[in-house]
Amino acid sequence: MTRADAPVTAAPTVPPERVVARLRRHARVLILPVLLLIAVSAASGYAVGLVDESWQLLAIGAGALLVIVLGCLLPYLAWLTGRTTITTRRIIMRRGVFVRVRNEIAHARVREVTVRKTPGQSMFGSGDVRIDVGHEEPVVLRDLPKPQLVQSALHELMEDAHRTPFGGAQVMPGVLDGDTVAWGGR
């Protein structure tokens, strides 16, 4: 039988990876930067009315701008760039303003998912989701809104990943490509 006459086998039927949820920290972490912005704006507006010299006006403006950039803009950018994406196969955590950091955890590696709430977090409906992957320290997704919903979704995804072969990818038996070796055969 020549290569042209060989039967064509179908590609493995692996379901595509789908996004289940995209999460950020609860927006309550932006309350203090907003209050700081309001206070700095009011204080600098009041201080401008008290001084007469142009260098003093420039000093007040530069100081106010510095406080706004460091105390308001950077926390907002940090909140905006920190994101967790939960897919059907893994958890992807991205963070960082100037240096981007990306961590991925396969659902098959997750051992336990717990939720921890402080009284302030309970008041706003948020909490910390702790993911135990077998290292010394668990991975903590801080201040997520609706943490029980995230925990139950992760439990379902973990069960699917532990139940199916290849870490959640369902492959039809006997339908493998030429480079893949199935257990017990070629």
Per-residue pLDDT, 77? 95
Find how far residue 149's CA is from the centre of its chain.
15
User: Angle at the Cα of 121 (from 141 to 24), degrees rounded to 5?
Assistant: 40
pLDDT of 42 over the 70 cut: yes
Identify which has the larger pLDDT, 131 or 183.
Answer: 131
pTM > 0.85: yes or no: no
Per-residue pLDDT, 185? 40
Scan for tokens 């139950």, then name that residue.
152
pLDDT of 80 over the 70 cut: yes
CA distances from 96 to 80, 83, 93, 163 (A): 9, 10, 10, 35
Q: Which fold, 19-163?
A: PH-domain like (2.30.29)
pLDDT of 4 over the 70 cut: no
Give me the residue spans of the domains in the chain: 19-163
Q: Which residues pair with 23 in a beta bridge?
A: 84
Q: Model confidence over 110-135: pLDDT tens digits? A: 999 999 999 999 999 999 999 999 87
